[in-house]
Structure 1
Amino acid sequence: MDRFDTSPETALHWHQQGTGAALATVVETWGSAPRRVGAQLVIGGDGRIEGSVSGGCVEGAVIVEALEAIDAGEARLLEFGVSDEDAFAVGLACGGTIRVLVEPVGKVLSEAMLSELVAARSAREALAYVVNLETGHRELRRGQHPERMRMDRSGFEEDGQTFVAIHNPPLRLILIGAVHIAQALVPMARIAGYDPVIVDPREAFASDTRFPGETIVTEWPDEAVARLGLDPRTAVVLLTHDPKLDDPALKAALEADVFYIGALGSKRTHAKRVERMQDAGFTPEQIYTIHGPIGLDIGAAGPAEIAVSILAEMTAVLRGKA
């Protein structure tokens, strides 16, 4: 998913309202599709929709099938062949095939299972929703499919019948230091699907004027990080150059299971940072996870280009390409 998809939450809400609902999930598609496998569209029994399973070329047919599936109380596996002309109209180079699984809430996808899924998502707990298309068996799995989790990659297992839908928490970026680079990085990260949080006790820096509409925390970094919590879907970026501000957050990040830690500064600055972390008792393996100097070496000059290099490195680490 490009952004955090709230289709399960909406489907549960509409079902509990009594209007009925179905979840339509992309289970297979052509390579140039605008929505990834795992993308979802929720269809209400009254015809309301939220989300998307394509760029618009198959939604109408999916809605019709979903309304019929709600009435019948049965799942449907739909397959659409998209013509070159239709594909071009929604921004694709060529046509292909898309398969969509439609599951009515209640009789097929139980309210209890959907409620458990929604609760886990709210608690930032990663899990997989697994359905066997041959047997109809459905279950939620925790602590399994690590590669799919890391790559955010829903899809079929090798048997061709077991579909695994990955539900990861939203990506989150905790920025320590409301500096110029942060002003460039925050909007870029938001476009890439992150929920950014800016932490800086210096109110002259951490102001709504400098970061309009963003989440700003003016607590000391150790207090802020402890309250926000750290998990495998969180990146921590240290930008202040001030050990009094950076180091408390860095220590918390090193003790947690965040997927990315990046720290601004020269090689000399980073060497001093390494010494401080060694003195604090961290192991070489832990310290090695710090990306410093921060960002991919693209010859960046200026805050905006440095922000690009940071976001690129975060993406590479997240996707296992670093």
Structure 2
Amino acid sequence: MDSIDLEVLKTCAAWIAAGHRCELVTVIKTWGSSPRPVGATLAIRDDGTVVGSVSGGCIEDDLIDHVRTHGIVRERPEIVSYGISADEAHRFGLPCGGTIELAIEPLHAGSGVDDLLARLERHELIERRLDLKSGAVSLHAAAPGAALVLGGELLSTQHGPRWRLLIIGASQLSRFVAQIATAMDYHVIVCDPREDYRGGWNVPGVPLLHAMPDDLVLELQLDSRSAVLALTHDPKLDDLALMEALRSPAFYVGAIGSRANNAKRRERLQQFDVTPQQLARLHGPVGLYIGSKTPAEIAISILAELTAVKNGVPDTLQIAHAQALSA
């Protein structure tokens, strides 16, 4: 399962290889409410076929109508704005007075899409620089956390896995978590030294490493854009890895299990000299409560909580629990 960004790029490459003309559309600025964030992409083919999204659908309809009426005639990139007036805002489904600004780039063999895809397959984080005046493209290594930048005649966009997720255990649940996380632009790594679990692993683009989890946590040098999930139910595998992860700058560390088992886990981790401040970072039982029963539903609950933490959303359940204890 590819992320939306990767799906758009792969589709563009296939269209170019088949001899079609196509354009890459990127959201570069928004004012007011917007259904899609800055950096969102859409590709449109010379017959009006689209992949990706830059709005709730209204702007896509206008882009499609324009291509079907006039064809793809741009030779150079162009900046286009929608929704400047109240009438346009109503027409395109934007809030009154809202505006969305798009970069529309005609693609061709010299646009570097194949080279970009090859580097993304190696899990590189890439900055793509587009000269809006000439249409020339260059690729560079990007720094984690870099954002889209429009400066003068240069548009810089970032592509590739912006976040890392280490999953301990190659279970069925791990497979669902890995598939969804990959679609969310995570570089996912799964670790399981148990031979019985490794044989059936088959998630394209997600490697399964035969290593001790705590050793791998140290080897990966986790940073503030890394997350760790312990999903084995085996303390021999989970505990030491969690100990190292809680001592790292990883933004999220979670472990599966019941409340009783997680309470016992916290007691064991204290014996490894994990501090109370470090232990407070452990999410366990992992995931938001959504009444999930199946592995797929549990995976959604886990990634919902992980996303909330990544986006700085307060943990309301923990806050309520703390307030109850202090009452």
TM-score of the pair, normalised by structure 2:
0.63
Cα distance per residue 1:2-32 (max 9 Å; x no partner): 8454111211121122122221112122332
Give the structure 2 partner of residue 19 of structure 1: 20
Q: How many residues align?
A: 294
Indicate the residue corresponding to 2:321 in structure 1.
none
1:273 is the counterpart of 2:275: no
Q: 2:77 corresponds to which residue?
A: 75
In the alignment, what sits opposite 1:244? Answer: 236
Deviation of 1:93 after TM superposition, in Å, equals 4.9
Instruction: Indicate conservation of the 8 Å contact 1:38/1:155, yes or no.
Output: no
Provide the rounded CA distance (Å) in 1 between the counterparts of 2:130 and 2:209: 44
Q: Which residue of 1 aligns with 2:9?
A: 8
Q: Which amino acid aligns with 1:61?
A: D
**In structure 2, what is the Cα distance between the partners aligned to 1:70 and 1:301?**
46
Structure 2 residue matching 1:261: 3-state secondary structure: strand
Corresponding residue of 1:59? 60
Match of 2:117 in 1: 118
22-31 or 304-313: bigger deviation: 304-313
Partner in structure 2 of residue 163 of structure 1: 155
Superposed CA offset, 1:206-254 (max 9, x none): 9x9xxxx99999987738x97xx96876632114443222147558868
Q: 2: distance between equivalents of 1:239 and 1:161?
A: 48
Structure 1 gap ranges (5+): 279-283
Deviation at 1:141, TM superposition (A): 2.7
Q: Aligned partners of 2:249, 2:116: CA distance in 1, in Å?
A: 22
Q: CA RMSD in A?
A: 5.1
Change (3 A) 1:140 1:178: closer
What TM-score results when the alignment is normalised by the length of structure 1?
A: 0.64
Where in structure 2 are the equivalents of 1:1-322 lying within 5 Å?
Answer: 3-63=4-64, 70-81=72-83, 83-88=88-93, 93-94=95-96, 96-106=98-108, 110-111=110-111, 113-133=112-132, 138-144=137-143, 146-148=144-146, 153-156=147-150, 159=151, 162-169=154-161, 173-176=165-168, 186=177, 193=184, 222=212, 235-247=227-239, 250=242, 260-263=252-255, 266=262, 269-270=265-266, 272-273=268-269, 275-276=271-272, 288=278, 291-294=281-284, 311=303, 314-319=306-311
SS at match of 1:147: coil
Deviations 1:124-174 (A, max 9, x none): 211222335467564323143x433xxxx4343xx4654332213276655
Contact 2:26 2:54 in 1 (8 A): yes
Q: CA deviation at 1:257?
A: 8.8
Counterpart of 1:281 in structure 2 is none
